[in-house]
Amino acid sequence: MMNDDLYRMTAVEAVTRLKKGEVTPLDLVETSAKRIAEVEPSVNALPTLCLDRARDHAKRILAGTACEAKDEAGWLAGLPVSIKDLTDVAGVRTTYGSPIFADHVPTRSHPLVERVERKGGIVMGKSNTPEFGAGGSTFNEVFGRTRNPWNTSLTCGGSTGGGAVSIATGEVWLAHGSDHGGSLRRPGTYCSVVGLRPSPGRVTRGTSNNLYSPQSVQGPMARTVADLALFLDAMAGFCPQDPMTFDAPSVSFSAAVARPVAPKRVAFTADLGGKTELDRDIREICTKAARRFEELGCIVEEASPDFGPVDEVFMALRSQQFVVDRELQLQQYRDKIKPDIIWNTELGLKQTASRLAWAERERAALFRRMGEFFQTYDLLVTPGAPTAAFDVNLRAPATIAGKKLENYMAGSTVNSAITVTGSPAIAVPCGFDQYGRPVGLQLVGKPRGEAALLQAASLYESLMGLFKLLPIDPKPGTVPPSA
């Protein structure tokens, strides 16, 4: 493979070649830099680059002075990655997508970035995100809009939209992200890559003020499930700065994916038992795609847990998290914060202690019902999103199944409901709609059951073969008509 084509390798292939000395970290940094220069004007995925910093890190790895983790699971050996612009990287402009922090340069990296760099990941740049990660389409007043490489007139989703695009186009091999209401899963679905929301505590959140909330998590995105498992190995483990974290498993996720075992019983629900709307073509594509698990020897049945009043529960808990994160900023910088964040924070400020207590009781009851459900089924499958990618200029789809949305989160139930359960979930590509827009499934596993979840995703991925289409060159297009 010529150096100009190295970006086409999977992360697993690239790391294997790095370990053998067939390519060097500097080779991959320069390949990444060249690819970024080629595609960035079309997509705006990595608005902040740190190429000299990346080259310096590559040289330290080559010199053997930054290789203390080379015998550990998740050793990346000098592989270029992107870090979401919600997460500090020392010496690199980090804006959180907010005009308030437009010129912010942290002096220390987030604990997860320190872990990834210790494991041989080389940070090439910061991926674009909505302001403070709030939104299902990636745009902000600092850097503008990130575009979907399958059709640049469309959104890439949010809030890890820049990360998804950076791997779909081959700018980097792996992307870091975060997920509250679907921020790793929705961009994965819209960009035909894989994005994992891990179990709470699997990956450190480090500097969060919501350290005792399981709602928001950090996690990996990649082009293939094996690549995703590799990056999860680099991320996972106990962190003294996060009280919810726990030790990494004795058997690595990469080892588990190398010897996959198919789930015996698979449940599929298109609409979470009537809890969410979705466009008709998405329902049809995902229903047919879920049936393909039968080709792996699985029993596939239409079934859904009882999600109860999950939308109300999620919004109560989400709004409380916004109060923790944004109340003080709202007092000082209200004129610089976008309306969706103000609305969500004020919703939290207005709700009563009784309402929060109700939401916590309902969350606990849902967790118990999910436990009972997983005594019968090994895997829950849903659509990855209720619509295909929409106009890049919109903050949310105008309608779902012909119905107007009440607020910017109203179309996220298929993802946010799973957030409330505490279960890990992964977005996997399953096809395209009539306009060529990617469609994906959301696979949901048992709490802390990432190994079995990744195994199921890997087998399904091999069956579908869609990963072979990546990486892609950005394609111009038009916005299809609304469903």
- The single residue of 137, 166, 178, 183 carrying the catalytic annotation is 183
Instruction: Please provide the DSSP assignment of 132-152 as one string.
Output: GG-SSS-EETTTEE-B-TT-T
Q: Pick the catalytic residue from 84, 119, 126, 338.
A: 84
**CA atoms in the 13 A half-sphere facing the CB of 419:** 27
User: Distance between CA atoms of 283 and 430, rounded to whole angstroms?
Assistant: 12
Q: Report d(CA 203, CA 307) in Å as an integer.
A: 26
Active site residue 109: no
**Residue with tokens 């804006």, as numbered in its chain:** 95
For 285, the 3-state DSSP assignment is helix
- In this structure, what token pair is assigned to residue 37? 């220069």
Among the listed residues 98, 137, 159, 458, the single catalytic one is 159
Long-range CB contact pairs, 434-437, < 8 A, 24+: 434/281, 435/151, 435/388, 435/480, 436/150, 436/151, 436/477, 437/150, 437/151, 437/154, 437/190, 437/388, 437/389, 437/480
User: Could you give phi then psi for residue 265, rounded to 5 degrees?
Assistant: -125, 125
Angle between helices 25-43 and 51-62 (to 10 degrees): 160
For residue 466, which of 198, 188, 261, 254 has the smallest C-alpha distance?
188
Determine whether 412 is an active site residue: no
Identify whether 126 is a catalytic site residue. Answer: no
In Å, the largest CA–CA distance within the chain is 63
**Residues recognised as catalytic:** 84, 159, 183
